[in-house]
Amino acid sequence: MTKTNPPMESQLARRLARGEFAITAEVTPPVSGSAQTLLGKAMPLKGVVDAVNVTDGASARVHMSSVASAAILAANGIEPVVQFTCRDRNRIALMSDLLGTAALGIHNLLLLGGDDPTQGDQPDAKPVFDLSSVELIELAATMSTEGVLPSSKKAASGDIKPGTRAIDTPPRFFVGAADMPTTEATDQWRGALRAKIDAGARFVQTQVCYDLNVIRQYAALLEAEGFADKLSVLVSNGPLASARSAIWMRENLWGVIIPDSVVERLEGASDQKAEGVRICAEQIQAMSEINAIDGVHMIAPTNTGNIPEAVAAASFGNRRT
């Protein structure tokens, strides 16, 4: 599978394959047994974005299952991106849930390592991490492209010998991974992203970045390293609710890049929430004009309702039709 040959069952994959600017958004499933609570968050995004991510125990805290949440969204006309982390399940459970995801008609995956459970609301939970994120990416890609489950068994000698099991109806996954915008092609960044691509990742959603200079340098590195030809890149952004919120994100969320100029602009605004929408619209419009940036991933945990306004205020030229 290459960047230009994604599973076309996915609306997100189709848009990216056409070279159009994609927009995804993210919702954290609620601590609720009600589908309506989830839909209250997600329905305002219907028809505005191409797909909606549902997180998997974000910040190592208990929420509604990401697979169940994705099924609810799909049943209500919203294409989901279901997130899986390696933190909570061994490979048997992960493969089972991946098969269940495919059976629900869900194709988009974002595969992650997961947060340390000691930092969440169940600090006594046992971390699993049976697979790394790269191994999980390879597993999902193998299930999709080869139609098999990798397995292993002990030989009489005690050695572990690899094998496979055929999947009756193989899934058609569009596999995504995470990345962080950078201005320097370090060996660590280059090696990590190459490993994800080689494992089968065909798109990435990055950590949140509001520094357009960083994004432009990052895009140049993606092209120089040949990564831009192999996967689609969506940079995370979103309407900031206030300067206080921006500062909290910058200081407490790993990898978030928010320059002082953005914080100062919010601080000087008479209506900080409206200014956050304007900043977001300007930034996603600017990103739509940068080569090697294929879309934007909208994250606004406390401000999801303003995502449609920010998208409507942006102009994309001929990159969204």
- On whether the pTM is more than 0.85, the answer is yes
138-151: average pLDDT: 92
Asked whether residue 290 is assigned to any structural domain, the reply reads: no
Q: Give the number of domains in the chain.
A: 1
* Confidence at 157, pLDDT banded by 50, 70, 90: low
On average, the pLDDT of the chain sits at 93
Asked whether residue 320 is assigned to any structural domain, the reply reads: no
Asked whether residue 283 is assigned to any structural domain, the reply reads: no
Residue 1, class by beta-carbon neighbours within 10 Å (0-12 exposed, 13-18 middle, 19+ buried)?
A: middle
Helices (H), 155-242: 187-199, 212-224
**Above 90 in pLDDT, residue 66?**
yes
Asked whether residue 43 is assigned to any structural domain, the reply reads: yes
214-236: average pLDDT: 98
Asked whether residue 211 is assigned to any structural domain, the reply reads: no
261-266: long-range contacts at Cβ-Cβ below 8 A with a sequence spacing of 24 or more? 262/210, 266/240, 266/242
The pLDDT tens digits for 90-129 are 999 999 999 999 999 999 999 999 888 888 789 999 999 9
Which pLDDT value is given to residue 271? 98
Which pLDDT value is given to residue 5? 61
* Confidence at 191, pLDDT banded by 50, 70, 90: very high
Domain that holds residue 124: 11-179
CA 238/CA 24 separation, integer angstroms: 11
68-73: average pLDDT: 98
